[in-house]
Each structure stands twice: as C-alpha cells, then as structure tokens.
C-alpha cells in the first residue's frame, strides 16, 4: 500500500501562497487565480467543479495519446439525474411558468468557450436577460437585437428557431442522456450506432452527489467490469440503475458486466475529489482500476499537495506527460 507519513512543518496556507496573490492564468478551460489555489491547498475544503474540470482536462491533454478513455464531463449526471445531484443545470433555456420562456446568456457557459477579448472593437461586454412571451408550447421564436458598438456601427444579432420542449420528469432524463452520448459520437467521429463506452478501453464518469460529495464510475470494456468508486459511502442504488440504463443504450452485443465496489477509502471528510481524480490518473498511467489497498489517506493528502504544485507549474509553462506523472506521484 502506498502511504506517506506527513512530517512536514505546518505552514499557514495563506503564507504559502502569498507570492501568488496576483496570479491570473487561463489554462484547461479554467482561470487559475489565488482563490483557486487557496481552495486546492486548504485540506479542510472540498474541490470544486472548477478544480475537477481543470485536472480532468489536464490529464486528458497529457495522457490521451497513450490510453483511449471516454471521459464524460462532470455535468453529465447533473443533467441526466438532477434529483440526485441537485446542482444547477447547464440549460440556457428554463421554463418557469406555463406561458413564459426565459432566455439567459450565462457569464460562464459550460463547456467553456475559447477566451475572447471583449475590450476589442466591435464587442461590448453585457449581461443579457430577455423575457419572451409565448402562448403555445413548442412554438418557434425569433429574437432580434440591435447593439451599437463603441465606434458607432450597428450589428444585428439574431437567434432563430428556439424550440420549447417540456423538460423530462422523474428520476432519469433518458433522452438527455442519449443525446449527450450521441453528441460525443458525432464530435469524435465515432460509429454512431454504437455507444461510446463500447468504443473505448475505459470509461470514466465523475459524479457529484447533492453538491457535497465526489465519486466516479469507471468502466473496463476488456474485462467487462464496472468500478463504483466511492471513497466514503456504499453504492447508491439509483446510480447503479442509472449506469445500467447508460450501458444498455446502443449496446452492440451481449456483455456480462460485473460490478466492483471496493476502492481506497478516505478518513478526511474533504478529499473525495482527490480520490476521484487519482482514480482517473491511475486509469491513464497504469491502465487499470485503483485497488482497495493500493494507497491510503496519507498518500492522497500528499497527492493533493502535489496537485497544487502541478497547477502552479502548469500555469507557468507547458509540461510533458512524464513530468506530470512524476509531480502527481511525488517522485
């Protein structure tokens, strides 16, 4: 078992990071700033969605050439099973009342767009909240806006063919799940008739339960094993049912999946996100699931400190897969 005795002198997190007070770097779809580093360095705080997005994207960037892994974004289950996750959805269209449709352009949409300099000519930074009244369900709307730029020129922005559909109700949003998988197939130019799970060595679903706890589902296609990786709680029956519905979609053949629920356990209440990230890191670097006694809480506490150093080095320059692996493992 990997373990690490923590004999380092205690240093206040704020003192350790004071040289990074003014850091502001955009990397892997996330802005690395002082608050981002502070939350990561503080062992008494959980990792946020921004931390998960940053490290998942970083691992994909440096290791995806070596290992074929279908990594779902961490909003997959938010949209698929919202009653369980209870996070804010990523929809830009929300129906609040029978006869009203609210269109919201969020400040930070997901997936994140490429950074745009909004101070350049022909752009004007502005929050937009438009209320459009509609009398019939599924009625297509058209919104037009004239916006004057600093140089006096006017440009017309047109949003066409907004179709209002009633949100799926119940425990599972099956159509939402299927649409997400289909979008992945199209974007990655895969066989559209087969679930992406069956076109990759491994699959990884990060999941946040009730905005309070990170866990993940890991799938090994070759061994036909599903790892329910949760460092604190027993397997949730709703999650297991939800996974079953996912793997049954566009299933190419009869596969006898086996469920495995044993994985390293946490003693700290705030490191569930680090356990999830290391499970993905292990898939990329070792090509296998994490094992129940592979490492302990002390080792994960060390990994969390190493992730902080990895973030700082990534903010400073592009790295190599070999260097990323050494930093995470503390070699």
Q: pLDDT per residue over 16-39, tens digit each?
A: 888 899 999 999 999 999 999 999
Whether the per-residue pLDDT at 72 is higher than 60: the answer is yes
Q: pLDDT per residue over 227-240, tens digit each?
A: 999 999 889 999 99
The packing angle between helices 297-316 and 49-63, to 10°, is 70
Distance CA 254, CA 104 (A): 44
Let me know: does 208 contact 75? Beta carbons within 8 Å.
no
Q: Let me know whether 30 and 142 are in one domain.
A: no
CA distances from 10 to 6, 132, 274, 307 (A): 10, 56, 21, 18
* Domain presence at residue 206: yes
Per-position DSSP letters for 235-250, written without gaps between them: PPHHHHHHHHHHHHTT
Out of 113, 128, 162, pick the residue that ends a domain. Answer: 162
Q: Let me know whether 36 and 74 are in one domain.
A: yes
159 beta partners: 143
Distance CA 74, CA 7 (A): 35
Averaged pLDDT for residues 187-212: 94
- What is the residue range of 273's domain? 13-81+171-329
Q: Let me know whether 77 and 103 are in one domain.
A: no
Tell me the whole-structure pTM to 2 decimals: 0.74
Q: Let me know whether 274 and 200 are in one domain.
A: yes
In this prediction, residue 132 carries a pLDDT of 46
Q: pLDDT per residue over 33-68, tens digit each?
A: 999 999 999 988 899 999 999 999 999 999 999 899
Whether the per-residue pLDDT at 111 is higher than 50: the answer is no
Number of domains the chain is built from: 2
Distance CA 283, CA 289 (A): 6
Name the CA dihedral angle for 195, 200, 201, 204, rounded to a multiple of 10 degrees: -70
Q: pLDDT per residue over 255-274, tens digit each?
A: 889 999 999 999 988 999 99
Instruction: Name the residue among 62, 16, 127, 58 with its Cα closest to residue 315.
Output: 58
Q: Among 166-170, 242-246, 319-323, which is the least confidently predicted range?
A: 166-170
Please state, as a whole number, how many other Cβ atoms lie within 10 Å of the Cβ of residue 4: 17
Q: Let me know whether 111 and 217 are in one domain.
A: no
Let me know: does 17 contact 39? Beta carbons within 8 Å.
no
In this prediction, residue 100 carries a pLDDT of 33
Q: Let me know whether 147 and 228 are in one domain.
A: no
In this prediction, residue 29 carries a pLDDT of 92
* Domain presence at residue 1: no
Distance CA 167, CA 94 (A): 9
Rounded to a whole number of angstroms, the CA Rg of the chain reads: 22
* Domain presence at residue 180: yes
Instruction: Provide the CATH number for the domain around residue 202.
Output: 3.40.395.10
Distance CA 148, CA 153 (A): 6
In the chain, at which residue ranges do the beta strands (DSSP E only) sit?
Answer: 24-27, 30-33, 69-71, 93-97, 100-105, 128-133, 141-148, 154-162, 202-209, 213-220, 225-229, 258-260
- Tokens representing 221 are 């296609």
Q: Let me know whether 291 and 189 are in one domain.
A: yes
Let me know: does 217 contact 243? Beta carbons within 8 Å.
yes
Q: Let me know whether 148 and 271 are in one domain.
A: no
* Domain presence at residue 20: yes
* Domain presence at residue 197: yes
Q: Let me know whether 177 and 281 are in one domain.
A: yes
Whether the per-residue pLDDT at 92 is higher than 80: the answer is no
* Domain presence at residue 252: yes
- Tokens representing 52 are 């998960």
Please state, as a whole number, how many other Cβ atoms lie within 10 Å of the Cβ of residue 70: 21
Whether the per-residue pLDDT at 117 is higher than 70: the answer is no
In this prediction, residue 99 carries a pLDDT of 34
Q: Let me know whether 107 and 50 are in one domain.
A: no
Please state, as a whole number, how many other Cβ atoms lie within 10 Å of the Cβ of residue 38: 17
Q: Let me know whether 38 and 176 are in one domain.
A: yes
Let me know: does 287 contact 201? Beta carbons within 8 Å.
yes
Confidence of residue 211 (pLDDT cuts 50, 70, 90): confident
* Domain presence at residue 139: yes
In this prediction, residue 177 carries a pLDDT of 96
* Domain presence at residue 33: yes
Out of 143, 162, 181, pick the residue that ends a domain. Answer: 162
Out of 162, 183, 214, pick the residue that ends a domain. Answer: 162
Distance CA 174, CA 194 (A): 17
Q: Let me know whether 203 and 296 are in one domain.
A: yes
């Amino acid at each position: 078992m990997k373990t690490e005795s923590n004999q380092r002198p205690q240093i206040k997190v704020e003192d350790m990071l004071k040289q990074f007070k003014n850091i502001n770097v955009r990397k892997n779809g996330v802005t690395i700033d002082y608050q981002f580093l502070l939350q990561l360095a503080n062992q008494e705080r959980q990792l946020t969605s921004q931390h998960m997005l940053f490290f998942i994207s970083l691992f994909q960037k440096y290791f995806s050439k070596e290992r074929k892994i279908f990594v779902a974004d961490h909003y997959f289950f938010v949209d698929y099973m919202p009653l369980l996750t209870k996070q804010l959805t990523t929809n830009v269209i929300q129906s609040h009342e029978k006869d009203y449709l609210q269109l919201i352009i969020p400040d930070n949409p997901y997936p994140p767009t490429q950074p745009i300099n909004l101070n350049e000519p022909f752009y004007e930074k502005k929050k937009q909240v438009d209320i459009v009244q509609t009398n019939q369900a599924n009625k297509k709307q058209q919104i037009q806006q004239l916006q004057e730029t600093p140089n006096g020129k006017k440009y017309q922005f047109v949003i066409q063919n907004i179709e209002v559909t009633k949100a799926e109700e119940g425990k599972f949003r099956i159509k939402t799940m299927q649409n997400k998988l289909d979008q992945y197939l199209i974007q990655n130019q895969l066989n559209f008739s087969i679930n992406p799970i069956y076109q990759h060595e491994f699959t990884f679903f990060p999941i946040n339960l009730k905005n309070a706890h990170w866990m993940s589902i890991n799938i090994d296609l070759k061994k036909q094993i599903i790892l329910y990786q949760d460092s604190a709680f027993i397997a949730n029956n709703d999650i297991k049912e939800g996974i079953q519905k996912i793997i049954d979609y566009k299933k190419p053949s009869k596969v006898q999946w086996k469920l495995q629920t044993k994985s390293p356990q946490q003693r700290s209440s705030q490191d569930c996100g680090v356990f999830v990230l290391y499970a993905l890191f292990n898939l990329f670097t070792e090509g296998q699931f994490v094992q129940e006694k592979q490492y302990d809480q002390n080792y994960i506490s060390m990994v969390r400190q190493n992730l902080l150093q990895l973030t700082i080095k990534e903010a400073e320059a592009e790295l190599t897969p070999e260097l990323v692996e050494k930093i995470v493992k503390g070699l």
